[in-house]
Amino acid sequence: MSFKSTIAKMAGKSSYWFLHTFRSGGSSLPGKITTRLDPTILKDLGKDYDVIVITGTNGKTLTTALTVKVLRQKFDHVLTNPTGSNMEQGIVTTFLTDHKSKNGKNIAILEVDEANVIKVTQFIKPLAFVFTNIFRDQMDRYGEIYTTYQKILDGVKLAPEATIIANGDMPIFNSVKLPNPIVYYGFNNQPDGEMKADPNTDGVVCPVCQHIIHYKFISYSNQGKYYCPNCGWHRPDLTYQLTQITKLTPSLSKFFIDASNFTLHIGGLYNVYNALAAYSVGKFMGVPTSSIQKALNDPDERVFGRQEQINVDGKEVTIVLVKNPVGLNQVIDMVGTETEPFSFVGLLNANYADGIDTSWIWDGNFEKLTQMNIQQYMTGGERYKDITFRLKVAGVRDEQLWTYDNLKDAVSNIKNLPTTKVYVFATYTAMLQLRKQLTSEGYIKEGI
């Protein structure tokens, strides 16, 4: 260890101690200080770990959390970065503050933002990469899907021996030849048919001959058993496959992977993909199937808390974060599995963290809501006019719709909604404001 990196680590660790002890925070600043003093610090910090990098646009956080749970079944010491700290400095802090085991294997499961993969692989050669998916994000902040994938590949190029564990249902992950060993996971739970993706879907061009790809079946968006009718390019063989889904509600999923049954205490088909990714990493790392079952079946509130339920004067209010069209369409499908009548609340902001362009709501399939048992609609947020008109165009009638130009009124009217179940779709800053309002009114306890 060089003198420079020793000093850098000391400086980082003491700043973390200070921040952690005297303020309740400190996830990126220690990393920032350490990296400033020694830009190559990750090389030193990561050298005693088997690192697995999890990247992609949607589902990174839950996939990472589930993977950690799975691997902890077999390994004593599994390190991970806290939610949201998926850029370089947060990752440095993660290693910096770890107490690694003296003997035995140290494993690090890192959620890494797509553009930051290269910042990790410059210094650390991971054992494996996990590619969850690449969907179009709000494009005022990010590039197109091909640019995003290229960013990931720029990082992967520096680690040609690492195994890639990729979502095989996602065509883009089969579009570039790589030297790395690759294993694919995916869905194989429907009989073969013949279909194309919905026209308003991204990433459906064959990378070999530029024709529109077809599918034997589609799980959602552009994922499924794809093939090109023109040149024969097709989905690769799957090593790990989901074979059956037996139950799907907004709060529970039951399914089979490779003939073993699993229960996941969260709804949404997209979360089944996240569980399948975690399972695949578990198998890759030699975790027995029964241990993976145990890990995934655990109703762990810390893991599933992102989609939370709050009691507001007897209403069961589920708050769902929405940030891009594919995610939005997935949660629309998720509430579509609700069996009781419910009310729908849409809160839209357009601050930087939400995406400053609200156009993306028009790629959301709100028309589906009008087929559900929704008794009352409510809209709010700083861009309530946009979401209100979106719902009207979707077919929601004026008399079904309450509109509020401020969040306080929206929250105080939640208790007047006609149903017990209430689903709130909120963009990031709208969700924070909503939580703050609910906290100030005593519905959420401080600090949770």
Partner 1 sequence: MKYELNVAHLYGDLLNTYGDNGNLLALKYYAKLMDTDLDIQIVSLDEKFDPNAWDVVFFGGGQDYEQTIVSKDIQGKKDDLTDYIEDGGPMLAICGGYQLLGHYYVGADGEKIKGIGALDHYTLSQDDNRFIGDIVIKNKETGEVYHGFENHNGKTYLGKGERPLGEVESGNGNNGEDNSEGVVYKNVYGSYFHGPILTRNGELAKKILLTALKRKYPNADLSSQEQLTIKPTF
Q: Which is nearer to partner 1, 58 or 318 (CB)?
A: 58
392 binds partner 1 (CB under 8 A): yes
How many residues line the site for partner 1 (CB under 8 A)?
34
Shortest distance (Å) from residue 394 CB to partner 1: 8
358 binds partner 1 (CB under 8 A): yes
Which position has the token pair 């048919």?
193
Q: Which is nearer to partner 1, 338 or 386 (CB)?
A: 386
No. of helices (H) and no. of strands (E), the chain: 14, 17
Which position has the token pair 């997209």?
270
Shortest distance (Å) from residue 87 CB to partner 1: 21
Gap between the Cα atoms of 390 and 226, Å rounded: 32
Contact indicator for 132, 55 with CB cutoff of 8 Å: yes
Per CB under 8 A, the segment of 241-249, 269-277, 303-311, 381-389 that binds partner 1 is 381-389
Interface of this chain with partner 1, residues 134 to 173, rule: CB under 8 A: 136, 139-140, 144-146
Q: Which is nearer to partner 1, 144 or 258 (CB)?
A: 144
Contact indicator for 378, 346 with CB cutoff of 8 Å: yes
Binding pattern to partner 1, positions 322-341, x when CB under 8 A?
A: ---x----------------
308 binds partner 1 (CB under 8 A): no
Shortest distance (Å) from residue 89 CB to partner 1: 24
Among 173, 270, 360, 404, binds partner 1 (CB under 8 A): 360
Among 363, 370, 400, 432, binds partner 1 (CB under 8 A): 363
Percent of residues in the chain assigned helix, strand, coil, to nearest 5: 40, 25, 40
User: Does the annotation flag 59 for ligand binding?
Assistant: no
Among 202, 258, 316, 333, binds partner 1 (CB under 8 A): 202
* DSSP of 29-66: HHHHHHHHH-TTHHHHHTTTEEEEEEE-SSSHHHHHHH
Q: Which is nearer to partner 1, 230 or 243 (CB)?
A: 230
Query: Would you give the DSSP letter of residue 14?
Result: H
Is 357 catalytic? The answer is: yes
Q: What kind and span of H or E run contains 434? A: helix 428-440
359 binds partner 1 (CB under 8 A): yes
227 binds partner 1 (CB under 8 A): no
Is the Cα dihedral 389, 391, 395, 397 positive or negative? negative
Q: Which is nearer to partner 1, 206 or 272 (CB)?
A: 206
Of 117, 76, 122, 121, nearest in space to 99 by CA = 76
User: Does the annotation flag 141 for ligand binding?
Assistant: no
Shortest distance (Å) from residue 427 CB to partner 1: 14
Among 6, 101, 200, 416, binds partner 1 (CB under 8 A): 200
Q: Which is nearer to partner 1, 7 or 212 (CB)?
A: 212
Is the Cα dihedral 165, 169, 173, 174 positive or negative? positive
Among 236, 356, 373, 406, binds partner 1 (CB under 8 A): 356
Gap between the Cα atoms of 73 and 143, Å rounded: 38
Residues 6+ apart with CB under 8 A from 32: 89
Contact indicator for 228, 209 with CB cutoff of 8 Å: yes
* DSSP of 81-108: --TT--SHHHHHHHHHT----SSS-EEE
Q: What kind and span of H or E run contains 220? A: strand 214-220
Gap between the Cα atoms of 366 and 363, Å rounded: 9
Residue in 76, 237, 313, 357 annotated catalytic: 357
What is the set of active-site residues?
357
- Point out the annotated binding site: 206, 209, 228, 231
Which residues of the shown chain bind partner 1 in the complex (CB under 8 A)? 136, 139-140, 144-146, 196-197, 199-202, 204-205, 210-212, 325, 356-363, 385-386, 388-390, 392-394
- Point out the annotated binding site for Zn(2+): 206, 209, 228, 231
